[in-house]
């Protein structure tokens, strides 16, 4: 059995038959740990997330999750297996209330395990107190930081095994961005594996047990935190092909 919760082995993927966006990508995420992904705009990070989440299937290579090959599974099946994504763009329904947005992911499941979902809902309200007084308010009326908190709360209520987090701090004030990374720590403390994508390279390195650098669709460097110490600016420039 693999020690990894998520493992990509030589994955190639793209949107057109003869154009590959991802080329021979291998990376891993362990349960209860953060794997960080660094890359410039256009490197293929969003394509990687779509491929893991089942919106795009690999042309070659394999994706293993919890020791199962998930190459051809559809997104809703992957959610049922415990994979969730907190996207860079909002996934909230702005005209629904905070409460309705929170309950939406679990509505089809609530009839089976009413007590379990009730307990999780109450836990979420305690863990994300900024939402407690806004349950009846439309999600679109929340501040940017509160909307991001609601995104994390939606993920938490599902209690996933794996969470893909794409640029969680972008557009947020420094204070709110710090709160985002506290929430990520809570996820890993619960045993959730996290693939973190963020433009703040130093923050990604500081929070991640393993780091991967994606450049032009290929992994050009990877390793633990120790490998990413020293002159990080020069190292990342070299790995991203910016040494000129």
Mean pLDDT of 223-228: 85
What pLDDT, in 10s, does the model give residues 118-145?
788 888 888 888 888 899 999 999 998 8
Residue 150 contacts residue 168 (beta carbons within 8 Å): no
Please say if the pLDDT value at position 204 is more than 60. yes
Q: What is the predicted pLDDT for the residue at 188? A: 95
Q: What is the predicted pLDDT for the residue at 95? A: 94
What pLDDT, in 10s, does the model give residues 6-63?
999 999 999 988 889 999 999 999 999 999 999 888 899 999 999 999 999 999 999 9
Tell me the C-alpha distance between 201 and 33, whole Å.
Answer: 17
What pLDDT, in 10s, does the model give residues 70-120?
999 999 999 989 999 999 888 999 999 999 998 887 765 655 455 667 788
Q: What is the predicted pLDDT for the residue at 44? A: 93
Tell me the C-alpha distance between 241 and 189, whole Å.
Answer: 35
Q: What is the predicted pLDDT for the residue at 174? A: 83
What confidence tier does 230 reach under pLDDT thresholds 50, 70, 90? low
What confidence tier does 244 reach under pLDDT thresholds 50, 70, 90? very low
pTM to 2 decimals?
0.90
Q: What is the predicted pLDDT for the residue at 114? A: 59
147-152 — which CB contacts under 8 Å span 24+ positions?
147/90, 147/92, 148/172, 148/176, 148/180, 149/179, 149/183, 150/92, 150/98, 150/101, 150/102, 151/86, 151/87, 151/90, 151/91, 151/92, 152/86, 152/128, 152/180, 152/183
Residue 37 contacts residue 225 (beta carbons within 8 Å): no
What confidence tier does 196 reach under pLDDT thresholds 50, 70, 90? very high
Higher per-residue pLDDT: 236 or 193: 193
Pick 1-82+160-244's CATH classification: 3.30.565.10, 3.40.640.10, 3.40.50.300, 1.20.1050.10.
3.40.50.300
Tell me the C-alpha distance between 71 and 57, whole Å.
Answer: 6
Mean pLDDT of 181-206: 91
What confidence tier does 169 reach under pLDDT thresholds 50, 70, 90? confident
Please say if the pLDDT value at position 151 is more than 80. yes
Closest CA to 151 of 203, 89, 210: 89
Going from N- to C-terminal start, the domains of the chain cover 1-82+160-244, 91-159
């Amino acid at each position: 059995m693999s020690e990894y919760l998520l493992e990509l082995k030589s994955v190639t993927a793209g949107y057109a038959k003869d154009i590959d966006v991802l080329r021979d990508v291998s990376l891993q995420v362990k349960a209860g740990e953060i794997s960080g992904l660094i890359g410039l705009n256009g490197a293929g990070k969003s394509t990687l997330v779509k491929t893991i989440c089942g919106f795009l299937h690999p042309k070659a290579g394999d994706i293993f999750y919890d020791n199962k090959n998930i190459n051809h599974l559809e997104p809703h099946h992957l959610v049922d297996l415990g994979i969730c994504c907190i996207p860079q763009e909002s996934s909230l329904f702005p005209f629904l209330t905070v409460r309705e947005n929170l309950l939406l992911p679990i509505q089809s499941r609530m009839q089976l395990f009413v007590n379990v979902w009730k307990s999780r809902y109450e836990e979420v309200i305690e863990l994300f107190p900024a939402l407690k007084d806004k349950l009846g308010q439309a999600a679109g009326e929340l501040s940017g930081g509160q909307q991001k908190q609601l995104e994390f709360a939606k993920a938490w209520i599902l209690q996933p095994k794996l969470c893909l987090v794409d640029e969680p701090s972008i557009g947020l004030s420094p204070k709110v961005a710090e709160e985002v990374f506290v929430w990520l720590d809570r996820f890993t403390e619960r045993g959730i594996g996290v693939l973190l994508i963020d433009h703040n390279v130093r923050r990604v390195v500081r929070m991640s047990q393993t780091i991967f650098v994606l450049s032009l669709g290929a992994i050009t460097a990877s390793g633990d935190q120790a490998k990413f110490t020293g002159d990080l600016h020069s190292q990342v420039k070299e790995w991203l092909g910016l040494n000129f």
